[in-house]
Amino acid sequence: MTSKELSNGLLRTLLILTGISLVLILLYKIFIVIVYLLIAVVFSLITNPIVQFLKNKLKFKNTLAVITTLLLSLLFIVSFALLFVPLIISQGENLSLLDINSLESSFNDIVNSISLYLESHHINLKQVFEGSDISSKINFNFIPNIFNGIINIVGNFGMGLASVLFISFFLLREKDQAFRIFKFVLPRNHKTKILTSMEKIQHLLSRYFIGLLLQLFIILILYLIVFLIFGIDNAFIIALLCAVLNIIPYLGPLLGMIVASVLIMISGIGHDFIQNTIPTTLYVLCGMLVVQLIDNNLSQPIIFSKSTKSHPLEIFLVIICAGILFGITGMIIAVPSYTALKVIGKEFLPDNRIIKALTKDI
């Protein structure tokens, strides 16, 4: 190899690395736009059956069907958000978010009440707290920052919602035109496989997201029954919040139990805490645990295995591995990503033994 060829190779490598770096920087800068686009794609997959129903059954024009679907979706989202206003107001008053001394006093009241309850059962929790001095190490000044952060999130959510609805409008209205352009630029030797893969992926992901909504609805109803049995204030709103947290596989139910426990105990401050609030909280946690047992062993395996055509053990292993590698985000997108990869694998590597075994039902 001559010095000229070597220098040309190094220059070409340098240019390639520079190009890759610039692309990665660009993707990082527009990351939020990519997130909006991905959410819009998922939203379009979920709402597309409604658009098709309006077009085929009610004879709506394409644009009218899309606008009607988006308006119904927006109404649902706004109604969903407004449900939490009473909870935020009531719990905000209980927490006294802007009064740090009151918040610290509430925390100490809960700790003392729990301590007295445990002491009646010969468990001295007070010594543990005094020995570790936990309450003095907790800095309650972070609460106003969280409150301000929530306000910022609400503002960003409004902008994100508008962006997602705008993108979804064109994805739903111009789906056929975009699909024709996409087909035109595909390589001819792989066009059929790519189109077949896309059709199957869209079908399976639509089934998956509809199945996910069905699962959350079942959990919502079961949680609501538990909360109503034990007379929990704001039962529907807390049940809805806990159900939404189930979007995060395995960790979501635990977070839901923690949120429900905190809200119940905070609401019980000033009442008969030992005789009423703590037992009620424990009973509710037992009820929520029963709901999760029903969901994990009955509704979730049936719904997910039917919608994605994957064995429940497959789904469990994929979610765990994705959680280890990519955290909570990986757990949320694990099943849709795995489903898409299975479809692509079946189309492009149909003779591979492992892929053949995993995709026999697709």
pLDDT in tens, 302-319: 777 777 778 878 888 888
pLDDT in tens, 221-263: 999 999 999 888 878 888 888 888 888 877 888 888 988 888 8
> What does the chain come to in residues?
362
Assigned token pair, 171? 């994805």
Cα 267 to Cα 96: distance, rounded to the nearest angstrom: 12
Q: Mean pLDDT, to the nearest integer, of 64-86?
A: 83
pLDDT in tens, 168-212: 888 888 777 766 776 776 777 777 887 788 788 878 877 888 888
Are 312 and 305 in contact by the 8 Å Cβ rule? The answer is yes
pLDDT in tens, 15-67: 888 888 888 888 778 877 887 887 888 788 778 888 888 988 888 898 899 99
Amino acid, res. 31:
F
61-67 long-range contacts, Cβ below 8 Å, gap at least 24? 62/173, 63/173, 66/169, 66/172, 66/173, 67/169
Chain centroid to Cα 171, Å, comes to 22
pLDDT band (50, 70, 90) for residue 146: very low
In Å, what is the CA distance from 325 to each residue of 310, 335, 338? 21, 14, 14
Are 343 and 358 in contact by the 8 Å Cβ rule? The answer is no
For CA atoms 234, 239, 241, 242, the dihedral sign is: positive
User: What is the pLDDT at residue 276?
Assistant: 76
> Using the 8-state DSSP alphabet, how is residue 273 labeled?
I
Assigned token pair, 233? 């204030």
Q: Mean pLDDT, to the nearest integer, of 264-270?
A: 67
pLDDT band (50, 70, 90) for residue 338: confident
For the cut 60, the answer to whether the pLDDT of residue 100 exceeds it is: no
Q: Mean pLDDT, to the nearest integer, of 253-279?
A: 76
